[in-house]
Structure 1
Amino acid sequence: MNKYFITLMVSVIFLTNPVKAQTIHALADIEQTAFLYAAAEAQANYDNPQIIVEALDKRLRLQQCEQALQAFSNSVSNTLGNRTVGVRCSSPTEWTVYVPVKVKVLQPVVVAARSLVANETLSKADITLEMMDIGELRQGYIQSTDKVIGQQLKYPLSMGMALPPRGLKQEKVIRRGEQIILVASAGSMEVRMNGTAMGDASVGEKVKVKNSSSKRVVEGIVHAPGVVKVTM
């Protein structure tokens, strides 16, 4: 069974018009409605989500709702991290309260086992798996060490920091000395020739190529593995 955790904190949300004590709607009921809504959304996508509900200010006075409270959210792209859940009453008096919540999901992600420098080729000893809140990892994360061993870092990474996908250099799809197809285009006309790569490059990177026929060296952009395009 999934377990949820509620942490209550204080925010300042209140009304200035007093309502008779016997007609006040319980704030705990509003908070519970927001909790259940956020939990249901998170549980649909993740295992064991932790839902943290921020307590409504005790000075808030809302008339007792005679209908079941309705929860909703304007967020359509992300159910993790900090967000708000709206709780609405339709009768006898219409009111809406926005309850701050935080959704945490802990999962194992690849992190640096020591301080790493740019251009370093990663080995098994350089990385490890650590439980982290994936909602806090805005640049993304990697969950398999096998996917990063042997790859190079783009920039330095401190010990314990999560390794984002963008932190790895793209795989080289063209290697120095490799025979490739050189595609020269001018308007709607396109000519294909054989050539030899003069360096290593990834898709989208520039690389120099020696034309096998003319022996001329030109610079083009890697379009796909074994294919370099040049605009004439």
Structure 2
Amino acid sequence: MPLFSSSFSLLRTRVPGRLWAAALCIALPAAAQQAPSDGAVVGPEFVASTQHWLDEAVAKAQAGNPAPLRMEVSIGSLDSRLRLAPCSRVEPYVPVGVRLWGRGRLGLRCVEGGGRWNVFLPLTVKAFGPAWVLRDNVLAGAVLTEADAVEEEVDWAAEISPVVADPAQWVGTVASRALVAGQPIRQSMVKAAQAFQAGSQVRVVAQGPGFEISSDAQALAAGVVGQPVRVRMENGRITQGVVQDTRTVRLAM
């Protein structure tokens, strides 16, 4: 006799993507039904109690979040060949190191009963929200523009790499590998564009209240927009600034 039905859905609601980062340990009241000695069956009270606890956790995590995701959490079933001792109190928990994001597992342990067993159920967490999806295939090294993607709803949890939801963070970046149409843009797919090579002549700009000065210099390393780079000034002094574009390095004042 199997311990659980073949599958059941625990949650279909809206929660922020950060919820998966919380470590959860659920302690529920006695809800299991006694069964014959060849196994144990968890009744509907157990499922209802779990649902109620998750609803409360979702409400707390969602409070104050301006852009929640629509989460779908589903749990699979145990191997029907398992034979577990009857249990009057089953405690579900999220194992250490398991994130509530994508595919994972949910632990179930008997804390009151004839045997202290511990088993795991497959867990799938989907997180639907807006993301930028590629219109066409993109070659490795190509610079992405606004025309390369369209906004659609996707499952953020389908891959480990985070979705880049803000266009300002991916427009002008370079594809780190060949990309396929229909893929949502994620952090692992793009990298900052190289503005100039080591040894290039650049213009160093220093700006302060009511003034701006500039001078020529030589880049000592390859420059990437938005990243720091060391340069050698005309007088031989070495300093560091932030790459602004293909020709300019700005010094902090």
| 2:22 alignment partner in structure 1 | none
Match of residue 155, structure 2, among 130, 133, 137: 133
Aligned equivalents of 1:221, 1:111: Cα separation in 2: 40
1:87 to 2:114 alignment? no
Would you say the 8 A contact 2:130–2:152 is kept in 1?
yes
Equivalence map 1:7-86=2 (5 Å): 21=36, 24-27=39-42, 32=47, 36=51, 44=61, 47-67=69-89, 69-76=90-97, 78-86=99-107
> What amino acid does structure 2 have at the position aligned with 1:155?
R
Residues 79 and 33 of structure 1: CA distance in aligned 2, closer, same or farther (over 3 Å): farther
Aligned equivalents of 1:20, 1:200: Cα separation in 2: 70
Aligned equivalents of 1:103, 1:76: Cα separation in 2: 15
Equivalence map 1:79-118=2 (5 Å): 79-93=100-114, 94-118=116-140
How far off is 1:88 after superposition? 1.8
How far off is 1:221 after superposition? 9.6
Per-residue CA shift, 1:107-126, capped at 9, x if unaligned? Answer: 22222111112333322221
Residues 22 and 35 of structure 1: CA distance in aligned 2, closer, same or farther (over 3 Å): same
Residues 168 and 157 of structure 1: CA distance in aligned 2, closer, same or farther (over 3 Å): same
1:158 to 2:180 alignment? yes
How far off is 1:52 after superposition? 2.0
Would you say the 8 A contact 1:51–1:101 is kept in 2?
yes
> What amino acid does structure 2 have at the position aligned with 1:21?
P
What is the alpha-carbon root mean square deviation over aligned residues? 4.2
Task: Give secondary structure in 2 for the equivalent of 1:114.
Answer: coil
Per-residue CA shift, 1:190-229, capped at 9, x if unaligned? Answer: xxxx751458612366x7x454125xxx9x896645489x
Would you say the 8 A contact 1:176–1:200 is kept in 2?
no
1:143 to 2:158 alignment? no
Would you say the 8 A contact 2:128–2:155 is kept in 1?
yes
Aligned equivalents of 1:89, 1:30: Cα separation in 2: 16
Q: TM-score, normalised by structure 2?
A: 0.58
Per-residue CA shift, 1:162-203, capped at 9, x if unaligned? Answer: 22224333266889531269xxxxxxxxxxxx7514586123
Q: TM-score, normalised by structure 1?
A: 0.62
Q: Greater strand share, 1 or 2?
A: 2
> What amino acid does structure 2 have at the position aligned with 1:99?
L
Per-residue CA shift, 1:45-99, capped at 9, x if unaligned? Answer: 66432122111233433333223x2111223562112222111222232222222
Runs of 4+ in 1 over 4 A off after TM superposition: 27-31, 37-43, 171-176, 220-228
How far off is 1:31 after superposition? 8.1
> What amino acid does structure 1 have at the position aligned with 2:187?
P
Task: Give secondary structure in 2 for the equivalent of 1:178.
Answer: strand
Residues 200 and 88 of structure 1: CA distance in aligned 2, closer, same or farther (over 3 Å): closer
Aligned equivalents of 1:41, 1:76: Cα separation in 2: 19
Aligned equivalents of 1:39, 1:99: Cα separation in 2: 20
Aligned equivalents of 1:200, 1:57: Cα separation in 2: 56
| 2:217 alignment partner in structure 1 | 196
Aligned equivalents of 1:56, 1:30: Cα separation in 2: 18
| 1:13 alignment partner in structure 2 | none
> What amino acid does structure 1 have at the position aligned with 2:152?
E
